Amino acid sequence: MEFTIKQLKEKGKELIRLKDYDAAIKIFKEIITQAPQDYYSLDVLGFLNYMTGRFEEARLNCRESLAVKPDNYYAYKGLGLCLVRLGKPEEGIENIKKSIALNPTYFDSYYDLAVTYMELKQYDQARLYFTEAGNVDGKRKSEIEQALRYLDTLEAAQ
């Protein structure tokens, strides 16, 4: 039985919801085979590869997505995170900042940049971007407060 791309995406999304990332990767690879310009599926594939520790593959997915849609803020954020994991934090930060420039209302870019700075022990920058994330999405105030408290403990331990 042949599935449409729409059916494959629904099946893939369900597998993601169930956290069966390896099975979802197979589905989204099939979609890309049929529709190589589908930047949404490239983004999802990048996410899945990142979540399974395949950072180089995820980086390539993000690059492919950006080749299709050069203003894709989500792909820039993903690319940045991959580069950080691949030992290129400066280049990673630059790409996450491109994501913010393209979509200044996207919470995840600020939050992920803050976490990146926190991991690099650049606590002032982490605090700045956690605060910016909270300004972008006030509904996530408790999440930001928790992150800032954790940041306080890290700073105090230094």
Query: What are the tens digits of pLDDT across the range 96-149?
Result: 999 999 999 999 999 999 999 999 999 999 999 999 999 999 999 999 999 999
Model confidence over 63-104: pLDDT tens digits?
999 999 999 999 999 999 999 999 999 999 999 999 999 999
3 confidence band (pLDDT: 50, 70, 90): confident
DSSP assigned state of 77: H
Q: Give the phi and the psi of residue 41 in degrees, each rounded to 5.
A: -70, -35
For 41, half-sphere exposure in the C-beta direction (CA atoms, 13 angstrom radius) is 23
CA 133 to chain centre: 15
Core vs surface per residue 30-69: b (16+ CB within 10 A) or e: bbbeeeeebbbbbbbbbbbbbeeebbebbbbbbebbbeee
